[in-house]
Amino acid sequence: MTLNVVIMAAGKGTRMKSALPKVLHKLGGRSLLQHVLDTALALQAARVVVVTGHGAELVEAASAPSGAVFARQMPQLGTGHAVLQAAPLLDDAQPTTLVLYGDVPLLSVASAQALLQACGGERLALLSFEPADAARYGRIVREGTGAVQSIVEYKDGSPEQRAIGEVYSGIMAAPTAALKRWVAALRNDNAQQEYYLTDVVGMAVAEGLQVQALVTPDEFEVGGINDAAQLAALERELQRRLAQRLMAEQGVRLADPARLDVRGALRCGSDVEIDVNCVFEGDVTLGDGVRIGPNCVIRNATIGSGTAIHAFTHIDEASVGANAAIGPYARLRPAAVLGDEVHIGNFVEVKNSTLARGAKANHLAYLGDATVGERVNFGAGSITANYDGAHKHRTIIGNDVHIGSNCVLIAPLELGAGATIGGGSTLSKDAPAGQLTVARAKAVSLPGWQRPAKEPQT
Distances (CA, A) of 10 to 7, 236, 330: 9, 26, 43
3 state SS for 352-398: CCEECCCCEEEECCEEECEEECCCCEECCCCEEECECCCCECCEEEC
Catalytic member of 25, 363, 393, 402: 363
Q: Is the dihedral of CA 246, 249, 250, 251 positive or negative?
A: positive
Quick one: angle between helices 79-86 and 176-184, nearest 10? 120
Nearest to 356 by CA among 364, 10, 365, 370: 370
**What DSSP character marks residue 328?**
S
Pairing between β-strand 211-215 and β-strand 148-152 as defined by DSSP bridges: unpaired
Distances (CA, A) of 25 to 49, 53, 69, 103, 292: 20, 16, 21, 9, 29
CB 8 within 8 Å of CB 51? yes
The question of whether 35 is a catalytic residue gets the answer: no
Catalytic residues: 363
